A and B are shown apart, each in its own frame.
Chain A
Amino acid sequence: MVFYLREEMKFAEYLHTAEACQHLRSGGQAQNGVRDSVGMSRSPWSCTVTVGLISGCKAPPPRSTVNQRSAVGSRDSPASMRALSVSALLLLALNSCRGTQDNLLDEDVIEPVVQASKYGSLWPLPQKVQISEVPLKLSGATFEFTDAKGSTAGPSCSLLQSAYRRYYDYIFGGPKKQKMSRNRRAGPLELTELQVSITSPDSQCDGYPSVTSDESYELSVDVPVAVLKAPTVWGALHGLETFSQLVYEDDYGAKTINSTKVSDFPRFAHRGILLDSSRHFLPIKVLLANLETMAMNKFNVFHWHIVDDQSFPYLSRTFPQLSQQGAYHPYSHVYTPSDVKMVIEFARLRGIRVIPEFDTPGHTQSWGKGQMDLLTPCFSGATPSGSFGPVNPILNTTYDFMSRFFKEVSDVFPDGYVHLGGDEVDFTCWKSNPDIKKFMDRQGFGQDYSKLESFYIQKLLDIVTTTKKGYIIWQEVFDNGVKLKPDTLIHVWKGNQEQYQNEMAKITSAGYQTLLSSPWYLNRISYGQDWQSTYKADPQDFKGTEEQKKLVIGGEACLWGEYVDATNLTPRLWPRASAVAERLWSAKDVTDINDAYNRLSAHRCRMVERGIPAEPLFSSFCRHEYKGI
């Protein structure tokens, strides 16, 4: 059955040597006998998936990385300028006349054995879970979520109440039916109640989640009532999701849950998804749907890369010209203050933090349209060329602007952190500008433009510090030796495995906290089951002490927007980001690819059933296919 990889490799070679016209597969065609119909089995976990593993192979699967960007090249491939897209076209054109592309076949992708996992469809896998053989029935007519006596969050906690409604809908597939009869006696093996108990004095019901939030919970499913205990509402939300994942349909379609004990908490505190709303505008609906899906995967940070070179959709109250001039369209392609508020509240109700990124001094072309004199005028010889470079670091007006702008940002976004970017600053424009040269001389920077960058960043960090926010910056700022507050979070995005592991070691040995994204650039796609390599990357795999490892607070999956918009974002992100979710939530030793495949297949069908177009992992079916087209 495990014939795929070799054949893939053969095919990839074959593509490149262009020794055409031979059989693709010498004889590895699977015929009968390998298709396990899990969905038809009697297993209690049969609720969602059946996977046929018979591979057809008219689709020759070269794992050539035809259009993968080099991970080292650029953080998000700023195809900002026409010139760059020209070179992209050029590369394509050249590729089309000879297969000269590199071929990375370093990943061992295995062909998983299809069978039900003993953990059913749980995703991400809880830290501790014991599932018994005892099936309990649930009926939409009698089942209730209730607030336990003594819970510090009662009926007035609308966060919990709306979560109850959400999960009721997910479990029973619709609004609550009229109770049949109050007197109807529940059967001996019927579960009628999930009691939710918030145990710490401050339930945080009306607060915002933060990096220090306690997300742990304990769930005990047994007759007559199941109990969910969590110190805060954030843990309770995760517990509700887990509870909903334990419910399945038996052979007669009856909702069933096995008696189960779960004790759970996240391995990492920061589990994020980056979406880029600048390269393409993402309608609010798309953002909300993905927040909803994040909650199903226990992600807790939405990193909103809201503006960049291409467009400035954030409608600033202080500087409305920024989006008026810098958005793709000043009305239809902007996020108004009420849109932003809606996103933040929608996220809060799902235990998700919203961290905005306003990247400077590079990646700011769109800022320049609505804010005069903010960007550096580039010179060609002795005269301004008419084009602009990064933010102009030598003007006092720049810092006045930034103070006011970040004051607004810190008011609008409640999270304790703001992402300041700081990546990929191109020095050529600064170099061309005579005023900047003079300034460099005066400051004694010589020809070292990274010193100028540091100068800017340091001033910016001082500004943001006055707003009482913590900050996250891309790794270059650290690499360039900018002086940072000890609680700065450094976001690693560059390099191959060896390189990012070295970087993590370096950052943590300097005592800084860090986040990993390098292996999780999900905008890069390839043929086949690339979720496996995503799944295998571990943020704590680097040489360092235990103390250093503790400084890794998590990671983020990034979906940069050059080739992503509302049409393809959701299927490109899910379930591939789910692989990251489990890596960041579950215990370090949860690494069984086979078990992961089976749980993830079921989890993806659940997402589809909940209306999310999560793409398939391989040939298979879901009981309820996607209907949203």
Chain B
Amino acid sequence: MKVMRAVNTKQCAPIIYALLQLIIFYAGLNAVKGVWPLPHALTSSVEQYPLNPQTFAFDYGKHSATQQGCSLLDAAFRRYFLLIFPDYTAENGQLEVAANNSFSLYISTDHNDCENYPNDDSSERYNLSVSAGQASLNAATVWGILRGLETFSQLVYQDDLGSYFVNETFIEDFPRFQFRGVLLDTSRHYLPVHAILKTLDAMSYSKFNVFHWHIVDDPSFPYQSRSFPELSKKGAFHPATHIYTQSDVRRVISYARMRGIRVLPEFDSPGHTGSWGKGQSHLLTPCYKGGAPSGTFGPVNPALQSTYQFMASFFKEVTSVFPDSYIHLGGDEVDFSCWRSNPHVRAFMQKMGFGGDFPKLEAFYIENIVNITSANNKTSIVWQDVFDYHERRSALSVVEVWKHGCYLCKVRQVTKAGLRVILASPWYLDLPGPTHNWARYYTVWPLAFPGSEKQKRLVIGGEVCMWGEYVDATNLFPKLWPRASAAAERLWSDEKQTSSVEKAFPRLEDFRCKLLRRGIQAGPLNVGHCKHEYQSV
């Protein structure tokens, strides 16, 4: 009966089609290998070229704007050499240049943006052609080259004897969405820096390009601030071992940059700030009970001038520490009961003419914070709650839609108001589900809402969220991968070519084994095996 109801829904037509295909697929085909996420245009032949680690070389094209000495690419070559030839060890012998049977991968870029940070308008487009003895990889920017190197590394395979091959291939590729993020929550559980770095590695394998660092929240404040060191001293789980020092943060940012990943920090306020209050007195609103302070605290106190002074210098620091042009200001789930209980807050509202309308107070607060960050030349992202209560929406720029239910209705509404959207609702990966429900994250259609072309263009991307209530370094990787990769393909690839779960399945299975080979603890999708199983506990 449930099935009937579902089938009657219009939305399900593609699924029925998919079902048919699925039956056909299982009837006859074997697993096909390929690239994940799927490139926009890929043609390949059965023509096979051997690759020999002894004679393989990366090189810069003659007309390339970047040349040797671009440390970002030089480091990428070293990384990808080991990813392309996973069995290679130095003992195998010295590299010989230009011997017989040599193969060169020529890189060429239009711009020399080697020293820059990736940004919201960075081009990631690349062309890759693989033919006898050589391949050429062309892109406007180094970011495109990084994506192309990843693709090339996935095209190389080994036969049963361990020899490496690549087939004749031509690829034109570019991302469907500019913003493809992964959120990690380092407040509910502290994630050691190497867990973050390893996540950045895995992200680059799936062509994610934004690390959304939900760095602080109610439970703990691990960010060690230069201007306000008390915040982490009092607010972290432990002031010495469970913090991110400035050099940790720099390391994360630079590691991400090397992989073409932006680091988007989130300092969520006025709610979700329990841990801030420990190291910054008078920042949070004292809650009242029966005319007297109850000893507990609520959201940030929006009625005090000192709050805005603090926020101005705090965000001045944050915007100088994090180079990305975006900053996430949070703004979600603000509880009004504490504000309501506080007589000073109520008096302030009278003065401002807000009456009893607390959303107005919240809007007032957020607007002040947005102004602070735009004074520092940053674009603000806020959770959808802010859009929902904000009357003057022109002050906003990017809204992240996270609530479940009809999230596309919300996307439509936000784009109609002329604001940009990042979609997170369908990609809450901390929610239950073993890896076999990866299809839930794949069969998401971010633009399937009625609206103009202009509205569609305002959807700048999407994000996978791994909230930390039940997640720490012990279980992060198998929870995140390869399920996040399903979302990655939705955000990178052409929707028409990737609408079928059953076509994607063998490619994803193969990709998952590649992740294992690269040391990423990606969970299994179904029964089966990888040639090289995960070799740790």
Contacts and interface: CB of A to CB of B under 8 A. Distances in A.
Interface of A: 11, 14-15, 18-25, 27-33, 35, 39, 50, 52, 54-62, 64-67, 79-80, 82-83, 85-86, 88-90, 92-98, 100, 279-281, 283, 285-286, 289, 310-311, 328-329, 332-333, 523, 525-528, 561-568, 570-572, 608, 611-621, 623, 625-629
A501 B419 CA distance: 58
14 contacts: A20-B403, A20-B407, A22-B403, A27-B335, A31-B335, A32-B297, A64-B432, A79-B527, A98-B6, A98-B9, A100-B3, A285-B535, A568-B521, A615-B470
Nearest to A286: B537
B404 A57 contact: no
Contacts of A629: 192, 194-195, 198, 473, 476-477, 521
Contacts of A95: 440
A94 B6 contact: yes
Contacts of A628: 536-537
Contacts of B271: 29
Nearest to A616: B472
A221 B245 CA distance: 43
Interface in B264-311: 271-272, 274-275, 277, 284, 287, 295-299
A59 B383 CA distance: 13
B274 A612 contact: no
A528 B470 CA distance: 7
Given A15-B405, A39-B237, A52-B218, 12 more contacts: A21-B410, A23-B385, A30-B218, A33-B296, A35-B219, A83-B26, A94-B15, A100-B5, A281-B533, A523-B434, A562-B527, A619-B189
A618 B469 contact: yes
Interface string B367-406: 0000000000000000101001000000000000011111
Contact of A93 (B18, B405, B470, B528): B18
Given A27-B335, A52-B220, A563-B434, A627 B192 contact: yes
B189 A280 contact: no
B22 A89 contact: yes
Contacts of B502: 86, 89
Nearest to B271: A29
Nearest to A25: B333
Contact of A20 (B297, B404, B428): B404
B467 A56 contact: yes
B23 A86 contact: yes
B469 A619 contact: yes
The 8 closest A-B pairs by CB, nearest first: A20-B405, A59-B467, A568-B478, A20-B406, A52-B219, A613-B474, A571-B475, A33-B296
A625 B526 contact: no
A93 B21 CA distance: 13
Q: Which of A15, A96, A614: most chain B Cβ within 10 A?
A: A96
B435 interface: yes
B524 A616 contact: no
Contacts of B516: 567
Given A79-B526, A563-B523, A566-B537, A571 B437 contact: no
B475 A615 contact: yes
Given A21-B406, A29-B333, A62-B431, A568 B523 contact: yes
Nearest to A64: B432
B56 interface: no
B537 A56 contact: no
Nearest to A528: B470
A608 B469 CA distance: 17
A39 B468 CA distance: 20
Contacts of B299: 31
A66 B443 contact: no
B471 A54 contact: no
For chain B, the bracket of interface size reads: 35 or more
Contacts of A21: 388, 403, 405-406, 409-410
Contacts of B383: 58
Contacts of A18: 405-406
A570 B529 contact: no
A310 B523 CA distance: 18
Contacts of A280: 524, 527-529
Contacts of B19: 90, 93
A24 B15 contact: no
A387 B341 CA distance: 73
Contacts of B275: 54
Contacts of B296: 31-33
B415 to A, nearest CB: 15
Nearest to B520: A567
B536 A66 contact: no
Given A67-B434, A616-B471, A629-B477, A20 B410 contact: yes
The prevalent SS among residues of B at the interface is loop
A625 B405 contact: no
Interface in B1-57: 2-3, 5-7, 9, 11-12, 15, 18-19, 22-23, 26
Interface string B458-473: 0000000101111111
A612 B428 CA distance: 26
Given A100-B2, A613-B474, A563 B524 contact: yes
A35 B192 contact: no
A571 B461 CA distance: 32
B124 interface: no
B195 A621 contact: no
A25 B271 CA distance: 13
A62 B403 CA distance: 12
Contacts of B479: 568
A52 B474 CA distance: 18
Among A66, A93, A98, the most chain B Cβ lie within 10 Å of the Cβ of A93
A98 B5 CA distance: 9
Contacts of B528: 280, 310, 328
Interface in B241-276: 241-242, 271-272, 274-275
A29 B218 CA distance: 10
A61 B407 CA distance: 17
B363 interface: no
Given A527-B431, A570-B537, A88 B477 contact: no
Given A97-B6, A285-B535, A563-B526, A29 B434 contact: no
A495 to B, nearest CB: 22
Contacts of A31: 218, 274, 284, 287, 296-299, 335, 338
Nearest to B479: A568
B115 to A, nearest CB: 31
Contact of A15 (B2, B404, B409, B468): B404
Nearest to A308: B527
B454 interface: no
Nearest to B424: A58
Contact of B475 (A55, A100, A285, A568): A568
Contact of B472 (A65, A561, A626): A626
A383 B274 CA distance: 72
Contact of B534 (A94, A565, A627): A565
Pick the most buried of B19, B434, B501: most chain A CB atoms within 10 A of its CB. B434
A232 B30 CA distance: 56
Contacts of A56: 185, 187-188, 217-219, 272, 467-469
A64 B433 CA distance: 10
B78 interface: no
B522 interface: yes
A614 B7 CA distance: 42
B428 A59 contact: yes
Contact of A279 (B6, B218, B298, B527): B527
B433 A59 contact: no
Contact of B527 (A19, A65, A310, A612): A310
Contact of B467 (A58, A98, A528): A58
Contact of A54 (B2, B274, B333, B537): B274
Contact of A100 (B6, B402, B527): B6
B226 interface: no
Contacts of A33: 295-297
B279 to A, nearest CB: 13
